[in-house]
Amino acid sequence: MTATVPVVTDISYQDLLDDPYPAFRRLRDTAPAVFVDAAKLTLVTRFDDITRIERDPATYSADNPASLVNKVMGPTFMRKDGAEHAIGRKAIEPSFKPTTIREHWTPRFAEICTNLVESLIAVGEADLFSALAAPMASLTLMEMIGFDEMPWQTLAYWSQSLIDGAGNYAGDAEIERKAMQAGADIDAAIDAVLDRHRANRNPSILSSMVHADPPMPIEGIRANIKVIIGGGLNEPRDAILTLVLGLLANPAQRDRVLAEPELWPAAFEEAVRWISPIGMYPRRVTRTVELSGVTLPEGLQIGLCVGAANRDDNRFPDPDSFNIFRPKQSHLAFGSGPHFCAGTWVSRLTVGRIVVPMLFERLRNLRLRDDAPPVVLGWVFRGPVSLPVRWDA
C-alpha cells in the first residue's frame, strides 16, 4: 500500500524565506513528498529521492508549461528534456569549453576582480554584497553574454526581478510585474547587439547561440538568455558571500585554507552544499508513480528542494554546520543528471579560485562586524543579502 501526499498548512511563506531549514527537516521526516500550502507546491526534500527523480526524466519531466520559469522567461532549454534540451545546451557549449574558460574568461575575470578588490583596500569596511559580490557576478556575466557595457546594477536588477518572479509561488502581482518588465528590457538589450555577434564570431554566449548549427531562433535566444541571467548571476554572487561567511564564522577553517591553498576547492563545495544558491526547481510528473511509498499522480507539479537535500542528515553528518573537512560526498547544488548546471566550472573558477582567495589575500584581517550581523534570506534562491565586514586598511 502506498500513501497519498500529505498536506502541511502551518508552515508560512515567511518561515521559508527567513530560515527554511527547520521546515525542511520537518518535511524530510514527514514523507518523501509533502504539499506545502504556503508554497502551493509539493516539495521533495530527501537526497536519495531527488537523485532518483533526476535519473528518470521520462517520469519526472523538466518540460513543464505551467512552471513560473516558463511564465517569466519563456520556454528555455532548462525546461526541456531529451533532444530539445540537448540542442539548446549544445548551442551554448563553445562559451563554456575548458580552453575558453582558461584562455579567455580566466584573465578577464581576474582583471575585473582585481579592480573591485583594489578599490576597497583603503576603505576599511563595506557590505560585500553590494561592494564586491553583486558587481563581480554582474560584470562577469555581462561579458560572458556579450551585452554592451551597462551599469552592473542594471543586470543585477534584471536578475533579481527574474528570480523573484520564478520563485513567486505566493502569487504577488508586483513581483510578477517587475519580472515581466525585466524580461522586456532584456529583449531590447539582446536586439541591440545581435547583429554585431552575427558578424563577429567570439567566445560570448550570444555569439555561440547565433553561430550554432542550426542557429538558435530568436525566441530561444531571448528565453535562454533570461534563464542564464536569472541563475548565472545570483549563483556566483551568493556562492561568493556564502564561502566568505562560512570561513569568517569558522576561523580555524579559514586559517587552514589560507595556509593550504589546495583546500579552496573543498571549501567552495562545502559552501554551496551548506547554503545552496539555487535551492529548488520544478518538475512535472508524467505518469502516476510511487516515490518511496508515496503515490504521485500524473500531472502533479513537484519542487525538487535541493537546499533541503543538501542538509539531509542521512547523507551529511551534522548537516547544518559549515565544515570543509567533512568526508567527501557529492551534493546537489548544481543539480544532477542531464540538467547538471552548465555554468558549474565557471562558478568553481570564479568563486573558489579567483574572487574569495584574492579577497582574503588583499584585505588584511578580514572579519565580520559584531554590530551588523549578516542577513541570509530565501528558499527557492538563498544566500546572504547583506554581509558587512571590516579589515585593516
> Tens digit of pLDDT for each residue in 173-187?
999 999 999 999 999
pLDDT value for 341: 74
pLDDT value for 169: 76
Q: Is 2 exposed, middle or buried (0-12, 13-18, 19+ CB in 10 A)?
A: exposed
**Which residues lie below 8 Å from residue 282, measured CB to CB, with a gap of 6+?**
41, 64, 67, 68, 69, 301, 302, 303, 304
**Does residue 282 register a pLDDT over 80?**
yes
**Does residue 87 register a pLDDT over 70?**
yes
pLDDT value for 345: 84
pLDDT value for 89: 81
Residue 227: all three cell numbers together: 534563464
pLDDT value for 170: 79
**Does residue 81 register a pLDDT over 70?**
no
Digit-coded pLDDT (tens) for 286-299: 999 999 999 999 99
Residue 35: all three cell numbers together: 504539499
Pairing of strands 289-291, 383-386: unpaired
Q: What b-and-e string marks burial along 88-116, b requiring 16 or more CB atoms within 10 Å of the CB?
A: bbebbebbbeeebbeebbbeebbebbeeb
Between the two ends of the chain, the Cα-to-Cα distance in Å is 66
Confidence of residue 73 (pLDDT cuts 50, 70, 90): confident
Digit-coded pLDDT (tens) for 209-244: 999 998 899 999 999 999 899 878 989 999 999 999
Give the mean pLDDT of the chain.
Answer: 92
Q: Distance between CA 283 and CA 303 in Å, rounded?
A: 6
Q: Distance between CA 130 and CA 388 in Å, rounded?
A: 10
**CA angle, corner 285, sides to 69 and 343, nearest 5?**
40
Alpha helix ranges (H) inside the chain: 13-18, 21-30, 47-54, 68-73, 82-92, 98-100, 106-118, 128, 134-145, 152-166, 173-199, 205-210, 218-248, 251-259, 264-274, 306-309, 344-347, 356-362
Confidence of residue 200 (pLDDT cuts 50, 70, 90): very high
Closest listed residue to residue 211, CA positions, set 94, 299, 82: 94
**Does residue 102 register a pLDDT over 80?**
yes
Angle in degrees, 0-180, between the axes of helices 152-166 and 173-199, rounded to the nearest 10:
130
Q: Distance between CA 240 and CA 234 in Å, rounded?
A: 10
Closest listed residue to residue 50, CA positions, set 378, 320, 321, 308: 308
Confidence of residue 66 (pLDDT cuts 50, 70, 90): low
Write down the pTM of the prediction: 0.92
Confidence of residue 91 (pLDDT cuts 50, 70, 90): confident
To the question of domain 7-390 being in CATH 1.10.10.10, the answer is: no
Q: Distance between CA 71 and CA 356 in Å, rounded?
A: 35
Q: What percent of the chain has pLDDT over 90?
A: 80
